[in-house]
Structure 1
Amino acid sequence: MSQLYDLFIAPFTEFEFMRRALVGVFALALGAGPIGVFLMLRRMSLVGDAMAHAVLPGAAIGFLISGLSLFAMTAGGLIAGFVVALLAGLVSRATELKEDASLAVFFLISLAVGVTIISVRGTNIDLLHFLFGSVLALDDQTLILIAVNATVTLIGLAFIYRPLVLECVDPLYLRSVSTAGGPAHLIFLALLVINLVSGFHALGTLLAVGIMMVPAAIGRFWARDITTMIVVAVIAGTISGYAGLLLSFHTSAPAGPAVILVAGVLYAISLLFGSVGGLVRQLFPGRHLEA
């Protein structure tokens, strides 16, 4: 029992930075999991990745102005994310370039600009902080920001849940019976950006979207209805956060990548044994595997 306690519980009871990190990743999973599910169902997974990189130049400009200031980097990241989303939408509507292609162009430019700014005016440590986050160094202000963003996300999704679900199932029907699709899409993009900013502070710009998309993909292998998918995604995200922090603590592996690696292991297990479309289920669809 003592060994189990030392392995699974002691790191969080004995070290405050581990408790802070645990609260942070739990709040991230709670807000980002549902967003990831809707991104996946609406075939916008790469949009999430593009938006994650779009946050970087704004945060880098905030860093230039005020250093490692939570307010400056958050405000810069939010502004950059919204600007890139707006520009990509305008380009796709004003030209023949599709939205995914315009987003790809803007996210590559944004990533290059952000890395250049940090490299020229900062240090290698600053660059690593921006790219891979600092989940083990979360302070009270950052934790409050992540928790507030998660709360806003859940409240926002509650208001637009019906049109989001209808758009995932039958977008043509939604357009024929309601005009709520457009406003719901804009609110959804706003919720996406604020969750990416939260993920940026904890996991960095390269891994922020990982806490959204990998748990969402896990949920897809265990459920058919959207509500259950969201629940599974949130559970997968919290387990990944807890196990990833333990892996980092006991092996000295980087905490952010460790969280996503654990999520990757859960994804591999789900891919093989998931009750909805898992490989084993497809290879052996016998009566003994039926739910």
Structure 2
Amino acid sequence: MLYDALLAPFVEFEFMRRALVGSLALALAAGPIGVFLMLRRMSLTGDAMAHAILPGAAIGFLVSGLWLPALTLGGFLAGVAVALASGLVTRVTKLGEDASLAAFYLVSLALGVTIVSMRGSNVDLMHVLFGTVLALDDGALLLIGAIATVTLGALALIYRPLVMECVDPVFLGSVSRAGGVVHLTFLVLVVANLVGGFQALGTLLAVGLMMLPAATARFWASDVTGMIAVATGAGMVSGAAGLLLSYHWELPAGPAIILVAGGIYLVSLVVGKEGGLLRLAFPGRHLEA
């Protein structure tokens, strides 16, 4: 019974194994990225950037259909362009970063949907917006794996200044000139992971596997290392459980993964030991670990 519920779908069906590998690789890299976005108070930036890649991916689709290299390159270039343009507008005008990103992301979303609609069908539009995690091929898995590897390697190199920038950017600026490079590198990693997530979850849901596990981790750990570990684990559990939920209940796989991640977040919001609602309501010793 337990075998049929938890293991049989992955043992018997190759597309489920591919989806599981892709989901685990996404969670491995997206978890740490989401934690740093949250610590830098840039959670909504991730959502805006997820929509920003849509026009580039849509142009790639317009030129070559669902050919992976074109979609990936187009999405990556569009995301980096929007990040740089938003930062430039913030620096040279009185418009805040949140308002600038909101403007760019709304225009990007509308433009991307329009471009896809010019050539594709509603099925193509749904593919771009919500992804096809159950149809990941070798190319998509290699791309996701490469992005995860590069992300973890880059985070290891910039970990200390990145943490310092989250805690005290003024101090980092006074002792090092690495702040600008670290910030730009981090934004590139955000865009790269959103492009990887786009292959599986689409532009509308890619940020979900990045931010929901990170928000969950905040209720279970108080230090950065602990939050990264919890976020990564929560993302992996969400991927596996969402795929099983999709298989047994015939639900769309991408939304199922994000719904599981949302469920884990809501449970953590209530019972989490670091500021959960029960902890706040009953701070007595009987709730202490």
* TM-score higher than 0.5: yes
Structure 2 residue aligned with 1:105: 103
How far apart are the structure 1 equivalents of 2:157 and 2:145? 19
1:279 maps to 2:281: no
How far apart are the structure 2 equivalents of 1:111 and 1:59? 11
CA distances 1:101-152 after superposition (whole Å, capped 9, x unpaired): 1111001000000001111210000000001000000000000000000000
Structure 1 residue aligned with 2:133: 135
How far apart are the structure 1 equivalents of 2:58 and 2:71? 7
TM-score between both structures, scaled by the size of structure 1: 0.98
TM-score between both structures, scaled by the size of structure 2: 0.99
Q: Which runs of 4+ in 1 moved over 6 A?
A: none
- Identical columns (%): 70
How far apart are the structure 2 equivalents of 1:53 and 1:74? 14
Which runs of 5 or more structure 1 residues have no equivalent in the other structure? none
1:22 maps to 2:34: no
SS at match of 1:268: helix
Cα deviation, residue 169, structure 1: 1.2
How far apart are the structure 2 equivalents of 1:274 and 1:175? 35
1:219-234 superposed matches below 5 A: 219-234=217-232
Structure 2 residue aligned with 1:153: 151
Cα deviation, residue 170, structure 1: 1.3
Cα deviation, residue 64, structure 1: 0.9
Cα deviation, residue 178, structure 1: 1.0
How far apart are the structure 2 equivalents of 1:218 and 1:258? 17
Structure 1 residue aligned with 2:31: 33
How far apart are the structure 2 equivalents of 1:267 and 1:98? 29
Structure 2 residue aligned with 1:176: 174
What RMSD, in angstroms, separates the aligned Cα atoms of the two structures? 0.6
How far apart are the structure 2 equivalents of 1:268 and 1:86? 34
Structure 1 residue aligned with 2:3: 5
CA distances 1:43-91 after superposition (whole Å, capped 9, x unpaired): 0011110000000010010011111110000000010001101111111
How far apart are the structure 2 equivalents of 1:95 and 1:261? 39
Structure 1 residue aligned with 2:188: 190
1:212 maps to 2:210: yes
Cα deviation, residue 39, structure 1: 0.1
How far apart are the structure 1 equivalents of 2:247 and 2:171? 50
Is the deviation greater in 177-186 or in 22-31? 177-186
